[in-house]
Amino acid sequence: MKELLNKDVLQLQTSEIRAFNQYAVDNQASLFLTLGEPDFPTPESIKEAAIDSLNRNQTRYSSAQGSLELREAICAFEKKTNRVDYSPEEVMITVGSTEAISTALATLLNPGEEVIILQPAFPLYRQLIQMNRGVCVSIDTSENQFQLSEEMLEAVITPKTKAIIINTPNNPTGTMLDASSLKVIYEAVKKHELFVISDEVYNQLVFTELPKPLSQYTDIKKYIITCQSFSKPYAMTGWRIGYLIADQEFIEEALKIHQYVLSCVNTFIQDAAIAALDYDVKEMLDSYRLRRDYVYDRLRAMGVDVELPDGTFYILPSIKKYGMTSYEFCKQLVLDQGVALIPGSYFEADDYVRISFCVDRNVLEEAMDRLELFLSRLPKAEEQ
Ligand SMILES: Cc1ncc(COP(=O)(O)O)c(C=O)c1O
């Protein structure tokens, strides 16, 4: 059967994160710090807006681009929070950031064109680039505090380079690209006419000041494609809604793909998204900050090398000194202690493991106790 199918599809991988989570379930793990999903329910005001919309029979097709009311609300929100000016014609409502990134790549790429990603990277990017017949080129930022220098970027740019995907704050590191890294990208966009696909799904979940986004630089604005989501800030992962913001001509082309694949995003969920934009995420953010501080302090006390995340609900400790692959480390931790983390290799960062700290505080405390015990029994690479 398979030999009859599309060879490019056969090359794609199913989600390794989900698969490892299942491995942990199958092996009776009891503490899961695996998935990137808020542990809060969706706020009442958002659910009520969806129910109200259903009661008003908002169950017909919406415009393919998304309801004008939601796109206007997004423009106002982006102006208030990121100080960027966009019109509703420059916004398209998508099925999460996943569809926004996928459609952006499909709109941009001719076969064989290259897209740069920064490692550690969310696995979706490589798969979507491949799916759209592009070539994924990665830059390892792990030796540079997860930041980018001009040399690192210029070393991989070729005449075939079409775009760079950035994700700040980043899944899995939790760090943000600093002003200097963003300047490097800004200069490269101007010099090489590169597009930037800016995956900003965590930019409301930030514990420090957010640097000026690239879309604020009006001279490169037409090269900036912003992908955004309601999933993470508003605990709406299952609602499947996000948006894409870009130059109007880009949106007009992207809309063709979106329209033929999906028609439009669910109408009553778009109404709920309008209510979401009015919801203040501070309470959730404060709770993530407390959990981040707790996990960071515990890891440091265990003698683990780790950077303090600027945002998200992930932290990425280094396991380099234990001389194991990240898969072997995570597998042993499941089997010995029933604690499930995610191997860094899934993010192209085998010296690390990802901890998702958006879980109950008691689970976090117990998991850290067991991790401490596990580490205390592991010989360090230099002792082996
Ligand atoms: C960095 C990053 N981008 C995109 C997504 C996809 O989000 P959505 O639910 O909006 O499709 C995720 C989800 O985990 C993510 O971590």
151-155, 165-169, 218-222, 296-300: least confidently modelled range: 218-222
Domain range list for the chain: 2-41+281-383, 44-276
- Distance CA(260)–CA(250), nearest Å, equals 16
- 380 pLDDT band, cuts 50/70/90, is confident
Q: According to the model, what pLDDT value does residue 248 have?
A: 97
Distance of CA 287 to the CA centre of its chain: 20
Q: Has residue 224 got a pLDDT over 70?
A: yes
Nearest to residue 340, comparing CAs of 12, 17, 9? 17
316's tokens: 């990425």
Lining residues, ligand 1, CB within 6 Å: 36, 96-98, 122, 167, 171, 199, 201, 229, 231, 237, 242
Q: Has residue 337 got a pLDDT over 90?
A: yes
Q: According to the model, what pLDDT value does residue 359 have?
A: 96
Quick one: angle between helices 282-301 and 361-376, nearest 10? 20
CA end-to-end span of the chain: 48
Q: Tell me the average pLDDT across 25-50.
A: 96
Q: Which residue has the higher pLDDT, 366 or 214?
A: 366
CATH classification number, 44-276, choose in 3.60.110.10, 2.102.10.10, 3.40.640.10, 3.20.20.70:
3.40.640.10
Q: Has residue 29 got a pLDDT over 80?
A: yes
226's tokens: 């912003």
Nearest to residue 314, comparing CAs of 36, 26, 16? 36
pLDDT per residue over 258-295, tens digit each? 999 999 999 999 999 999 999 999 999 999 999 999 99
> Atom 7, ligand 1: which residue's CA is nearest?
97
Question: Ligand 1 centre from 234 Cα, in Å?
Answer: 13
Q: Has residue 170 got a pLDDT over 90?
A: yes
| Residue 174 zone, left/alpha/beta (φ > 0; ψ -120 to 50; rest) | left
Q: According to the model, what pLDDT value does residue 379 have?
A: 80
Distance of CA 257 to the CA centre of its chain: 22
Per the listing, tokens 């990603």 go with: 117
H or E element that contains 119 = strand 114-119
Question: Ligand 1 centre from 97 Cα, in Å?
Answer: 6
Phi and psi for 287 in degrees, rounded to 5? -70, -40
> Atom 16, ligand 1: which residue's CA is nearest?
171
Which ligand 1 atom lies nearest to the CA of residue 167? 1
**Probe residue for ligand 1, chosen from 21, 98, 239 as the CB with the greatest number of ligand atoms within 8 Å:** 98
Question: Ligand 1 centre from 342 Cα, in Å?
Answer: 16
pLDDT per residue over 188-211, tens digit each? 999 999 999 999 999 999 999 888
Q: According to the model, what pLDDT value does residue 39 have?
A: 94
- Distance CA(346)–CA(120), nearest Å, equals 9
Among residues of the chain, what percentage have pLDDT more than 90? 92
- The class that CATH gives domain 2-41+281-383 is alpha beta
- ω before 233 within 30° of 0 (cis)? no
Q: According to the model, what pLDDT value does residue 8 have?
A: 87
195 to each of 109, 111, 120, 245, how far by Cα in Å? 11, 16, 20, 13
What mean pLDDT, rounded, does the chain reach? 96
- 382 pLDDT band, cuts 50/70/90, is low
Q: Has residue 213 got a pLDDT over 90?
A: no
Q: Tell me the average pLDDT across 47-53.
A: 98
Q: According to the model, what pLDDT value does residue 305 have?
A: 96
pLDDT per residue over 104-147, tens digit each? 999 999 999 999 999 999 999 999 999 999 999 999 999 999 99
**Probe residue for ligand 1, chosen from 201, 226, 234, 237 as the CB with the greatest number of ligand atoms within 8 Å:** 201
Q: According to the model, what pLDDT value does residue 77 have?
A: 97
Q: According to the model, what pLDDT value does residue 383 have?
A: 64
Q: Has residue 159 got a pLDDT over 90?
A: yes
Q: According to the model, what pLDDT value does residue 370 have?
A: 97
- Distance CA(243)–CA(97), nearest Å, equals 6
Distance of CA 359 to the CA centre of its chain: 18
Which residue type occupies 178?
A: D
Question: Ligand 1 centre from 159 Cα, in Å?
Answer: 29
Q: Tell me the average pLDDT across 157-166.
A: 98
Residue 197: how many other CB atoms lie within 10 Å = 26
